Amino acid sequence: MKKLIFTSAFFLLFGVTLVAQKSLNSYKYILVPKQYEFQKTEDAYQVNSLTKFLFNKAGFNVLFNDEPYPEDLVDNVCLGLKAIVKNNPSLLATKMKIDLVDCYNNVVYSTTEGKSKIKEYKKAYHDAIRKTFADIEALDYKYESTTKIAPKALVEKNVITNKTEVVNKTKVVQDVSESKSVKQKSIDIKSDEIKAKVKSSDVKIKNNEQVKVKKESYSIEGIFNIDSWGRSTITKKNDSYSVKGGDEDFEFATIYPTSKPTLFIIKWVAYKQPQMVEIDKDGNLNIDSETGVENYKRLD
């Protein structure tokens, strides 16, 4: 009897995982807020940066919700899922879970609760969040472009003399079937999806019809301020990159590319365990470490 119950539970869990995987594969982007309800400031304890980093590591296309959106996401915000980290603390443990919410505010997927008994807030938050990602990594996410997600609404474009402005409010312009004929109409961007932080240089309007978002991209090559090495240089070396620093220009690490242009793997000379590296929108390096995400500033 116990064997039968165990077998049934296994197949039920396996079936739920397959359904969740198929559902998530329909979405192209994960949107990470800069601040959650339990946080007093933006990216407190680097919870948001870690969440974005781990989703990237799991194969998702991830954006902070105040970053310039790709053109297809501007046209259809329903291509993205909002990642909501929830904190449910108790006297003995920090408990956290992640909900993935669609453009209709429906929860598409929830992780199991990650628990940590570490007393220090930052370490406890990071430990609990990493444990929740065991569920997400098990989904083996791969975006399926053949599965179409219809837009919830068209967003209205506002053209103001000598100034491009993205307005924070939702407006339904017309039915999806008529969307191709919509021209020279103002578009309002949904306030809980896009904040009005897109600079005028990031948005170009042509004939009042099409919005194109230009997103800066950075090479891994450059000069960075890296930990105790100080001013360090990253240069191309065959199929990898050499990292040198210090008074003697010592090569203290090697960086290897991955299939994603913003993600790399760094192998330090002094450590056996390689780490993930992400280039952020400002061209800085975010490196996954045991104590959290370390940020190394780009100097040039």
What's the pLDDT tens digit per position in 193-248? 544 444 444 444 444 444 444 445 678 999 999 988 899 999 998 889 999 998 88
For residue 174, pLDDT over 70 is answered with no
Please enumerate in sequence order all residues whose Cβ is within 8 A of that of 141, keeping only pairs 6 or more positions apart, or say none: 21, 24, 25, 58, 59, 60
Q: Cα angle vertex 139, ends 138, 142, to 5°?
A: 130
In the numeric block, the tokens 């219809």 are attached to: 150
- Kindly tell me if the per-residue pLDDT of 171 is higher than 80: no
What is the token pair recorded at 282? 């400002």
| CATH number for the domain running over 16-138 | 3.40.50
Calculate the alpha carbon distances from 289 to 54, 112, 130, 272 in Å: 12, 23, 12, 13
Q: Write down the pLDDT at residue 151.
A: 77
Mean pLDDT of the 63-74 span: 90
**What are 159's two structure tokens?**
């053209």
**H or E stretch covering 127:** helix 121-138
**Model pTM score:** 0.59
